[in-house]
Amino acid sequence: MLQVENLSKTYGTEIKYEALKELNLTVNDGEFIGIMGPSGSGKSTFLNLLATIDQPTSGHVLLNGKDPNQLNQEEIAKFRRRELGFIFQSFNLMPTLTVEENIVLPLTLDGEKISIMKEQLNRLAARLGIASLLKKRIAEISGGQAQRVAVARAMIHQPQLLLADEPTGNLDTKSSKDVMQLLQQLNQEEKATILMVTHDPLAASYCKRIVFIKDGELIDEIHHNGNQKNFYDEIMVKLSEIEGVDNEF
């Protein structure tokens, strides 16, 4: 459902910096993929290009055969709102709105019928265990609850692709585990297609596949073998290989 073809991104004019170098990736419906690599490897650049927040220097991003970068600004905004869901490390919720108002915001912007908004809201709130929070303000709920609200907002319009940028980065261990179990359930039960940038190997162990990026290039990938502990260990070994220091002088 997602095809990334020879994707490159170069910043600067006189002094050029290649953030991504002809990256290729195929994502099938219902996959849960983690994107890992050292700081400055190009992970966030890659996610921004998929999110149409930034445009590639060359190459293509095709979602169900369509290239959003061929659209005008108004069409891109509509594409981003309807086809993509976003989960951020900092939640990016509107503090002046209630939990309920935050969740239905994408549907409100699209002018959806109130009856449909309420139906979707109630289904998701029950599914994510936040039905009792709907009338609360964001300042009145915990970080873990706020991230659940962010997940609900990202899923309310049933996007083709869910993009998560360090979704556990601001959470404690228990809340991180809760959010990752939630994403795993959404992937398994709702067939949500998820791409997640993370530096956390425990969070990554909930994915079905991990792709590793270094110096702007996709250098390796590993697949979940059915045992989360074994997958976690495999991720740790791969990260040490990629980020390891050469001891030779």
Q: What integer pLDDT is reported at residue 132 of this predicted model?
A: 95
> Residue 214 belongs to what H/E stretch?
strand 209-214
Q: What integer pLDDT is reported at residue 248 of this predicted model?
A: 37
Q: Tell me: the pLDDT tens digits for 219-230?
A: 999 999 889 999
Q: What integer pLDDT is reported at residue 170 of this predicted model?
A: 87
CA distances from 215 to 37, 43, 56 (A): 9, 10, 16
Cα–Cα distance measured from residue 46 to residue 206, given in angstroms and rounded to the nearest whole number? 21
* Cα 122 from chain centroid (whole Å): 23
Q: What integer pLDDT is reported at residue 79 of this predicted model?
A: 87
Domains with residue ranges and CATH for the chain: 2-243 (3.40.50.300)
Q: What integer pLDDT is reported at residue 249 of this predicted model?
A: 33
- Predicted TM-score (pTM) of the model is 0.89
Cα–Cα distance measured from residue 78 to residue 110, given in angstroms and rounded to the nearest whole number? 8
- Which residues of the chain fall below pLDDT 50? 245-249
Selection from 159, 92, 156, 97 nearest residue 121 by Cα: 156
Q: What integer pLDDT is reported at residue 127 of this predicted model?
A: 86
